[in-house]
A = this chain, B = another copy of it.
């Protein structure tokens, strides 16, 4: 792909993210974004229909990065599971400002919704029902794990990360391991 496209998109996304940290979404203008990104205003419109489209694509991009961080690298699922979980929390920690803004904003529901959808999808792909009492509905179990994980993350972020990412990874892993076969709730195929 033409490298100009990637460069412009990146500059616009970065500018938008930066502004999101400084002020409320409602106060952000396309003009500001273009100015900070150092691109022509028309360039913004050539990539995004409006500021809501930009917001959604920005959310998508950040969540993609988040879920990319959860991919287990090694072959041994239990060890790599802990490692990648730890990486995930570290990533969250480094971008905590952004994520807490997104989670705390009243006007932005798109973020939580999208996060939930992705989490459900991820758990669905990872959840192994072998050895689990068959009278437990799988769909419900998926929702259960997804919500549980998001809940922990959300609590951790919005409460200014009271524990280290390592500790959080351990805790979450230990909770998950009680259902033996769910080792990578955040990972995606």
Residues of chain A touching chain B, judged by Cβ–Cβ distance below 8 Å, are 3, 7, 38-40
Contacts and interface: CB of A to CB of B under 8 A. Distances in A.
Name A's interface SS: loop
Identical chains in the assembly: 2
A13 to B, nearest CB: 16
Contact of A38 (B3, B39, B40): B3
A7 B7 CA distance: 11
Contacts of A39: 3
A1 to B, nearest CB: 13
Contacts of A3: 38-40
Nearest to A11: B7
A3 B40 CA distance: 9
Contacts of A7: 38
